[in-house]
Structure 1
Amino acid sequence: MTLRIHHILVTGLLTVTLITGCGRGEAPQAEISGEAVAMVNGVAISEADFQDFLNLQRMTRPGENLLPDEVLDEMINMELLRQAALQQGLDRDPDIQRQVERARTNLMVGALIDQRLNQDYTEEQLRAEYDRQIQAIDRTEYKARHILLDSEADAREVIAALEAGGDFQELAREHSTGPSGPMGGDLGWFTADAMVPAFSEAVQAMEKGSYSNEPVQTEFGWHVILLEDTRRSEPPPFEAVRDRVAQILDNRALQDYIGDLRTAAKIEVK
């Protein structure tokens, strides 16, 4: 069989090695979980470790038809390479030791986070957070047009033309340098956070049916804005975002837990 050494296989073997508790420079412990499926120079590969490895390969290589015997051969090859690396003293390499310790830390932290977040929230908790999120979101949408110009002087000329009774859409088609110019400057419906801050702030301060009597400068140029209408968007139904609400509660619980740990810790930043 062709020797196939993929980065993911190395990661997979590292994961199995860490789970089974192999120490640096040591062979796996004699106690194995379940019946051994192979022995490699006296080192047992247990059924449980093989199944973990097989499941990992199926998850990370979904397009391949992985046969158990082939995957076992890969695991045997990796074990042979692991033993060869130990014989060469690579387990004592400082860079490798740091990477192994980092992987061990990631596994432990991940397990702790899963443990802390494994909570069943009540219907009342979920709905209360849903209501809080809905109240915190600005659901106002704006329908506007704009005329984009290269200079403040050009923008003021357009404003003067509007004050003299000019038609906004016609002026946009004639003068706007933006892509919406041929459409009379139409921007459609949008929320404030969809636009750059200066533009959004100007729109939010305007009344329906009015245009900006002062040019609005953004990174794109100078704008003359017409606010045509506003409306309130409907929030998503609770059931559609139930899982997202639970994630918000999870994230808050985790941040609170980390905050408690930091409060109780002695931290020195140098």
Structure 2
Amino acid sequence: MKRYLILVVLACFTLAGCAQDTKESDRNARLDENVVAQVAGESITEGDIEEIISHIPAQYRTKYSSPQGRKEIVDGLVEMKMLAWEARRKGIDKQESVKVKIGYIIDQALAKELENDLKESVKVSEADIESYYRENLDKYVTPERIKARHILVEKQGLAEDLLGRLKKGADFQELAKKHSTCPSAEKGGDLGWFGRGKMAPEFEKAAFALNKGELSDVVKSSFGYHVIRLEDKRESKTKTLDQVRKSIERTLQKKQADALIAELKDDIRKKAGVTVNEEYFSKFKEQGRPGVEKVREPAEPEEE
């Protein structure tokens, strides 16, 4: 998978920047640079390798910045240029279908670079960041959560008896395993961490009112009778502006960049005279895929 990834990056780099044969004068001019390899007189420089590494996804960048990773990049680039050189020698690059493919890839690379330039031009002010934080404060609140155990039984009398035994020092987990009808019994009644809105209302009210290590009274719910012990509690916390500043900045940058790109596309559409032949699509409206029945035809009304 990683090998495929690096080949894709190399392909995009090669087609976007190095797809054409290098003139003899250019080859000679590049000999004085920090050349890493050459293919048919075309140099691959340290700058080329750094450019490729900069386009590798962050999670793989460290690997390909190592000596072994750089060798893999160079080997892949050399192999690709060797095969591309042979393909040009055979005239494959002159085939119409290949020209179309290369054209699409170059257009895609150019469009992506233009979008990246627009994104990099966006500057988010501190005032915008602070305003977004205030208006979206609820996004940065971690609700109160608790960790609890419980014993669930069908009879109130048994629940009262178990509560009394617990208050005298009986082992909660052992009693839960022996008496509780909840699936959590096999874990000693452990319910793990949960927030509000996850449990029956009566259970939730009693559980969240407890202090760490405290036992509840017998609690009745639609499931039966509970005895609850609070294991731990995490109070509600709100992330500070400093903690989320970078995240907010990225969000606002994307929002503003998307707006700029949409505006640019509208402007280009007018300047470039973009037209679409809608009749092209009408040819396909009544055509279904072979062997696939139409499944969304409106049903005929039944006769009374």
- Give the TM bin, normalised by the shorter chain: 0.5 to 0.7
Task: Give distance in 1, aligned partners of 2:228 and 2:246.
Answer: 39
Q: 1:81: which partner in 2?
A: 83
Task: Give the paired residue count.
Answer: 234
**Structure 1 residues 161, 109: CA separation in 2 closer, same or farther (over 3 Å shift)?**
farther
| Matches for 1:133-152 after TM superposition, within 5 Å | 133-145=136-148
Task: Give distance in 2, aligned partners of 1:261 and 1:204.
Answer: 57
Contact kept, 8 Å, 1:147 with 1:172, in 2: the verdict is yes
Task: Give distance in 2, aligned partners of 1:17 and 1:247.
Answer: 30
Deviates more, 1:112-121 or 1:203-212: 203-212
Alignment of 1:53 onto 2:61: no
Task: Give distance in 1, aligned partners of 2:125 and 2:97.
Answer: 48
Q: Give, in angstroms, the shift of residue 93 of structure 1.
A: 7.5
Task: Give distance in 2, aligned partners of 1:34 and 1:119.
Answer: 40
Contact kept, 8 Å, 1:130 with 1:245, in 2: the verdict is yes
Contact kept, 8 Å, 2:143 with 2:195, in 1: the verdict is yes
Task: Give distance in 1, aligned partners of 2:135 and 2:263.
Answer: 24
Alignment of 1:185 onto 2:180: no
Contact kept, 8 Å, 1:147 with 1:177, in 2: the verdict is no
Task: Give distance in 2, aligned partners of 1:163 and 1:181.
Answer: 20
The root-mean-square deviation of aligned C-alpha atoms, in Å, is 5.0
What do the CA deviations read for 1:212-241 (whole angstroms, capped 9, x no partner)?
61249xxxxxxx795959764222222232
Task: Give distance in 1, aligned partners of 2:68 and 2:241.
Answer: 41
Q: Tell me, which stretches of 5 or more residues in structure 1 are unaligned?
A: 1-5, 149-154, 193-198, 217-223
Q: Give, in angstroms, the shift of residue 52 of structure 1.
A: 3.5
Q: 1:221: which partner in 2?
A: none
Residue in structure 2 matching 1:27, options 21, 24, 36: 21
Q: 2:176: which partner in 1?
A: 172
Contact kept, 8 Å, 1:203 with 1:227, in 2: the verdict is no
Q: Give, in angstroms, the shift of residue 164 of structure 1.
A: 5.1
Deviates more, 1:116-125 or 1:71-80: 71-80
**Structure 1 residues 204, 71: CA separation in 2 closer, same or farther (over 3 Å shift)?**
same
Q: Secondary structure at the match of 1:200?
A: coil
Q: Secondary structure at the match of 1:178?
A: helix
What do the CA deviations read for 1:96-143 (whole angstroms, capped 9, x no partner)?
954772464155325413423432222211112222332345532132
**Structure 1 residues 243, 57: CA separation in 2 closer, same or farther (over 3 Å shift)?**
closer
What stretches of structure 1 move > 6 A for 4+ residues in a row? 70-74, 261-270
Task: Give distance in 2, aligned partners of 1:227 and 1:108.
Answer: 60
Residue in structure 2 matching 1:213, options 216, 221, 228: 221
What code does the residue aligned with 1:35 have?
Answer: A
Contact kept, 8 Å, 2:141 with 2:236, in 1: the verdict is no
What do the CA deviations read for 1:140-181 (whole angstroms, capped 9, x no partner)?
213253669xxxxxx7xx254489525395663333433873
Q: Which protein shows a greater Rg?
A: 2
Residue in structure 2 matching 1:116, options 109, 114, 119: 119
Q: Give, in angstroms, the shift of residue 71 of structure 1.
A: 8.2
TM-score by length of 2: 0.53
What code does the residue aligned with 2:198 have?
Answer: S
Q: Give, in angstroms, the shift of residue 84 of structure 1.
A: 0.5
Q: Tell me, which stretches of 5 or more residues in structure 2 are unaligned?
A: 55-60, 167-171, 210-215, 270-274, 286-304
Q: 1:12: which partner in 2?
A: 10
What code does the residue aligned with 2:84 have?
Answer: R
Task: Give distance in 1, aligned partners of 2:143 and 2:103.
Answer: 51
